[in-house]
Amino acid sequence: MAPPLLRLDQISLTFGGTPLLEDAGLSISEGERIALVGRNGSGKSTLLKIAAGMVEPTGGEIFRHPSATIRYLAQAPDMDGFANVRDYVEAGLGPTDDPYRVAYLLENLGLTGDETPQQLSGGEARRAALARVIAPQPDVLLLDEPTNHLDLATIEWLEQELRQIRSAIVLISHDRRFLENVSRSTIWLDRGVTRRIEQGFAHFEEWRDKVLEEEERDHQKLGRQIVREEHWLRYGVTARRKRNMRRLGELHSMRNEFRTHRHAQGVATLQASDVKESGKLVIEADKISKAYDERVLVKDFSIRVNRGDRIGLVGPNGAGKTTLLSMLTGKIEPDSGTIRLGVNLDFAELDQKRELNPDETLSHYLTDGRGESLVVNGEQRHVVSYMKDFLFQPEQARTPIRELSGGERARLMLARVLSRPANLLILDEPTNDLDMETLDLLQELVAGFAGTVILVSHDRDFLDRTVSSVIAPEGDGRWLQYAGGYADMMAQRKETALARRQVKSAAPARSDEAEAAPAPKREEKRKLSYKQKFALETLPAKMEKLSAEIAALEVKMADPALYTKDPDQFAKIAAEIEKKRNEVEAHEEEWLELEMLREEIEG
């Protein structure tokens, strides 16, 4: 294994009370791709800040290679003193770095570079920070939630970019699919201690569950052993004559270990409040349209939403997802067309903006200031009891919201939304800042909700696990509904694109008269970038080469004696085949999107 560029050993950190980090470690070698995972509040971001030199630990050793460059993606970038975004990003370059990468990254992240810091939204500032840390291609890249505020197309572009840069990467993300596609190793931070497996995130959850099961068995064994030792101490023949001091000391040690054992954090209890059933028809839209000035966001869109449907809205930032959602729920009127809402509808909505009063306490926010209790599912519950379902401690009832982490704020808003009786859940980016375990429960809630769900999300895995259909933009204000989740939508789009190409190639050549006829004047349209053209031309050859390599490796795997003679080589070849298949799939998706974009541009 290559020597580490950065190593943290036995890191400890405490702010008083229970230590945040007790025996944490992080070793990063050249070219590694590491997923850092753990519950909200477990110290993941703090560990990255220690690695970046921004926080000093209470104890432990830190080694940074003298020549290694390290970049950290800040959650709230400081852009003071910079005239525009381009200056901010270029300031992160070293003397030998390629300045042309700045323009390339800004273009792909949806920025021009001319924006001033005062003009930027939180999401745009985040993308500018992402461009700044990636542009110099540092030796070590520390990324804390890099997909926040990115749309699906940009997330998939970022995956490709991170796969091809030379930097070693450590990343924190709530996006399962992103972690699976980028990581090759996984570090789990749990109760202040880190554990590592040399496998990507796709293998993490199964491994984690086994570790926790073994830990619980060992803890129960320790409890039974203490009982046996206490029985010996009280009733053993030897004990009546004299105390065996060594054995007594071991008993004290076991008691202390059993008493101070930090159990794994519990899981939140998510349950939507029941309400009377809505009518069979929930929403009916007939040829609705909406435009702002000359920009058409929705054009002639029709849909019928029935009770029990679970619908996901996807698309680039600015495509009009929130506008379409607002029209469907009656918040804004369409310019043309009609919206009809069903009977007995009760809404519960998680808004994307998530504006909270930072001085309000958790108890006041959940009860709307109406005392110490609230009604959930027709049952009156004390606010502290309800808070525990969402992993809040009793003492946090009087805590101001400003003191909560991003993940805790997300859980608090979910707690409020789910306490409201509803048969129609409206969730706008519900997965932001949630940890994996809470995401699992939210998925189960959405998938099993008795009413109707409409949600907006950029989380591909969450969409695949929850929705029964997806609404996606097709350009020029047109939106289409696809059956199934996100992966199903991509497969249907791929089939449609192939069918279009087959029809186009089979179409008869135009007559001389038609060719001689002057072409109608067309509006000027955007062009493919140089990088997109190059990818469109070279991706088919890359896919063919990878397919040939996979076939050659499969021939080696076919040898029945290989596993017996050299199991390590067998495993290595199997892993290589899986890796190359993933690369082929990623290339296919990228080529398909570029081909569809080219067809749209060329008309």
Tell me: is residue 38 an annotated ligand-binding position. yes
Tell me: is residue 363 an annotated ligand-binding position. no
Tell me: is residue 468 an annotated ligand-binding position. no
- What single DSSP character describes residue 191? T
DSSP 282-344: EEEEEEEEEEETTEEEEEEEEEEEETT-EEEE---TTSSHHHHHHHHTTSS--SEEEEEE-SS
Which residues lie across from 188 on neighbouring strands? 37, 195
411 Cβ neighbours under 8 A, 6+ residues apart: 40, 268, 390, 391, 392, 434, 438
CA gap 218, 514 in Å, rounded: 81
Tell me: is residue 316 an annotated ligand-binding position. yes
Residue 602 burial by CB count (10 A; 0-12/13-18/19+): exposed, middle or buried? exposed
Which residue is listed with tokens 């065996």? 244
Are 396 and 405 a contacting pair, CB within 8 Å? no
Tell me: is residue 451 an annotated ligand-binding position. no
Which residues lie across from 311 on neighbouring strands? 454, 469
H or E element that contains 32: none
Torsional sign, CA 124, 127, 129, 132: negative
Residue 197 burial by CB count (10 A; 0-12/13-18/19+): exposed, middle or buried? middle
H or E element that contains 196: strand 193-197
Tell me: is residue 306 an annotated ligand-binding position. no
Tell me: is residue 466 an annotated ligand-binding position. no
CA gap 596, 590 in Å, rounded: 10
Tell me: is residue 320 an annotated ligand-binding position. yes
Tell me: is residue 525 an annotated ligand-binding position. no
Which residue is listed with tokens 């460059």? 69
Alpha helices in 166-203 (DSSP H): 176-182
Whole-number Cα distances in Å, 49 to 36, 54, 137 = 13, 5, 19
Tell me: is residue 17 an annotated ligand-binding position. no
Residue ranges of the binding site for ATP:
38-45, 315-322
Residues flagged as binding site: 38-45, 315-322
